[in-house]
Structure 1
């Protein structure tokens, strides 16, 4: 008898959940909006850990070549917009409705939820205003000297490991080491070279970022796509070990600075310490929370720099290996610049003048943007057009891949053609058809930093080495990674 009651109760519960889900999954249908077919419980994210988020966005624009399409993050209705015009509305024109991102880790994970990337207004605005001076042309000019030094170490590493020893190069790891050396100085003022086998405190943290395991991938997917799950499971942006080590490193650097009060540092730690006095927070906020906010900015900068630049450099070298004519053209540009300058290393201004290099990088970012979509959350009811009204609290995504691969703007979009950007200027987003760094008030603050980092590496590598293919042309994306990351990408380096 008890068993029958249990069975009946279970059936009743399942029926209730199924009917509730059915009603939820009719959200877009009831509004006459095209949508991707959802599946029970998962909605449209049943692919996670089997395919990458990047691949899902890529395939979605083929299944639904419409201006916008409804999807479900679990049970949460989310609108994916897929045109430059709508991207402009969400990211800039009507920004007051979409100031915050939809991402969220658990509230106790301060490194994960209080940084510039994930933080909400007014925190992100206050922090951004104070950190922006880190990326002025004057500051970048100074740090380009270190980027060039690290690029020299990169050239030496290639010679020793991959030419002399004939080892297979893991481009993603190699460039992560290069970026890590530069970021160590940019954030902490630490001059160290993991490329030269020196013990780098930052590489201790960043080497884990290169490896996307199943569990690490799941944590990031939940933070960015299923924030409610992230809160329930108390998921952290960084591992506890990495977070504790980063905090220790940050405050050790601060303590050392107190001993040299008359020295003026120009790194991120210095900038954040000045922010400490200006940060506007509610009255009564614990001072420890302020300190956590400072470390959170350093953590986000490290993660963003290493992941995005290392992948972009990997894909760019891969494309150059498969495009010998374009590679020769780039080599000729670099060689001519070196001869004209009389120096074997190009400074900040000379690197900026490498127009063909810039368009090679831009075409790589067009074809391989680090994020498949840009996320925002609607803060108050918003009328997108005469047919669509977005309710408060619903996420709105901009499908970057639907725009970057639209044949209307980029004929034969699967082809890698740098000449598409021959008329490009640094501030040009091609009328919102080119948004690898995002756009609007929340555009990536480190855009120019990342671009210069790539210029420095490519200028010296291509000058010294010719690259040829080492893996099949279509590169599989890592399904465990939230950001675009190649599963296996390599080239053959040949001395010129």
Structure 2
């Protein structure tokens, strides 16, 4: 056989291998994307490779969850995150089983938690059992009523600075405020003390070491959005590409601040019993972390808690305040009732600043915040990973390893629980919503519900109580505003704006 015949045979072999590989790939894709069809479950039709992720970077995950509830008004249906079949649940009864009653079957989240990203993988939000249970127990003292009362005093100081900054920078200069940015400054000042015991005021135009990190959190760039989308939705890709929750610069900055504060306290032999640094240093001594290769280090674990507290405290609270003001600007009748409630409390207190107990008594303010959270839930879905085969109902058993997403927006906008769900009606929260039916889920539910719920609510209340005493809120934008297409959690596209008018 001469060289030309060898070459011809080689070409035929290569061609055969390529054709065979292509056929096998097609069969594998067909089998993968027939997963829900084979089980008789309705599903959103996928496209090869991407599954149902064709919307990424074009529209937000929030918008996807909002829209898909109308296409599939069912208790549950299937979707595909790239090649991974995911069960989307939209029934509060089933949500209760998954989040609370049968938590043992769904103890962990689905999102990426690889050890190449310790701050992203070891924090309370992402970490898996059994470490999660230990961290949850040890961090709970950070959110006791006594501690929150003391932190509320600082929140009120920062809220006073917020009122002054709005007058100084936006009323006197006739400028339009970017609400997401200015309230990120407010929450940043508060979290600087809550985490590190550092008293700073970026609101008063003074240098803030924490603002170096947090100012980037209010901007969803294409790259940041892609990183977070892969971490939350396609963990395998995030793992391969070593995507991170926090940038390398932010990670180094958090480490430097934390250990500098810890070093100074050790040298001066001082303690601050009120901040997270103190609690985390105690936690480090208690942690029994394995010294086997690949196991998490105690230093990484405690730094991860500081990092996620910063992100969670700033991102969700600032967005909630921004949407709250946008809503009441377009609902002046609501604003009048709010002002009357707060003003009455101020008169009784004989002080413009209301303390922790006073803020808890503002029932209508709480109702307005809850209605904002219902309509503009910071997280559009709650996700869990099925740990072992679970019989969801008489018709379907979830296989171990299957991600389960609970569509929060499908529940929050369900007319059965919230008549006229597209309308902003705080009065619906003046009577207790029966949370045992899982119809109000902005903070999650069950053992993995948001540990900082009360902290976040008080942070929002402290700022709004002072703002509404001093300013009327007028609309600066149309009522319907777009979400940021790069955002994984709820975020307004341009930060939102209103007009502040002195009373």
TM-score by length of 2: 0.96
Query: SS where residue 268 of structure 2 aligns?
Result: coil
**Alignment correspondent of 2:454:** 448
**Does 2:478 match 1:472?**
yes
Query: SS where residue 201 of structure 1 aligns?
Result: coil
Contact 1:110 1:292 in 2 (8 A): yes
**Does 2:30 match 1:19?**
no
Contact 1:373 1:400 in 2 (8 A): yes
CA–CA separation in structure 1 for the residues paired with 2:306 and 2:270: 23
Query: SS where residue 443 of structure 2 aligns?
Result: coil
Report the alpha carbon displacement of residue 9 of structure 1 after superposing the two structures with TM: 4.2
Distance 1:65-1:165 versus aligned 2 partners, 3 A rule: same
**Alignment correspondent of 1:410:** 418
Alignment of 1:146-165 (within 5 A): 146-165=154-173
Aligned length: 494
CA–CA separation in structure 2 for the residues paired with 1:220 and 1:3: 44
CA–CA separation in structure 1 for the residues paired with 2:382 and 2:347: 42
Query: SS where residue 195 of structure 2 aligns?
Result: helix
CA–CA separation in structure 1 for the residues paired with 2:301 and 2:189: 24
- Residue 166 (structure 1) aligned to one of 167, 174, 177: 174
CA–CA separation in structure 1 for the residues paired with 2:375 and 2:274: 34
What RMSD over aligned residues (CA atoms) do the two structures have, in Å?
Answer: 1.5
**Alignment correspondent of 2:500:** 493
CA–CA separation in structure 2 for the residues paired with 1:203 and 1:16: 52
Report the alpha carbon displacement of residue 281 of structure 1 after superposing the two structures with TM: 2.6
Q: Deviations over 1:289-315 (max 9, x none)?
A: 110110000001111111100100000
Query: SS where residue 101 of structure 1 aligns?
Result: coil
Gaps of 5+ in 1: none
Query: SS where residue 423 of structure 2 aligns?
Result: coil
Alignment of 1:169-180 (within 5 A): 169-180=177-188
**Does 2:222 match 1:214?**
yes
Contact 1:106 1:236 in 2 (8 A): no
Alignment of 1:394-409 (within 5 A): 394-409=402-417
Report the alpha carbon displacement of residue 15 of structure 1 after superposing the two structures with TM: 2.9
Contact 1:105 1:235 in 2 (8 A): no
CA–CA separation in structure 2 for the residues paired with 1:11 and 1:344: 76
- Residue 296 (structure 1) aligned to one of 292, 304, 308: 304
Report the alpha carbon displacement of residue 167 of structure 1 after superposing the two structures with TM: 1.3
Alignment of 1:101-180 (within 5 A): 101-180=109-188
**Alignment correspondent of 2:207:** 199
- Residue 247 (structure 1) aligned to one of 240, 255, 258: 255
TM-score by length of 1: 0.97
Q: Deviations over 1:38-69 (max 9, x none)?
A: 11101111111111111111111110000001
Contact 2:290 2:296 in 1 (8 A): no
Structure of larger gyration radius: 2
Report the alpha carbon displacement of residue 169 of structure 1 after superposing the two structures with TM: 0.9
Distance 1:442-1:451 versus aligned 2 partners, 3 A rule: same
Moved more, 464-473 or 280-289: 280-289
**Alignment correspondent of 1:35:** 43
Gaps of 5+ in 2: 1-7
Report the alpha carbon displacement of residue 287 of structure 1 after superposing the two structures with TM: 9.7
**Alignment correspondent of 2:93:** 85
**Alignment correspondent of 1:68:** 76
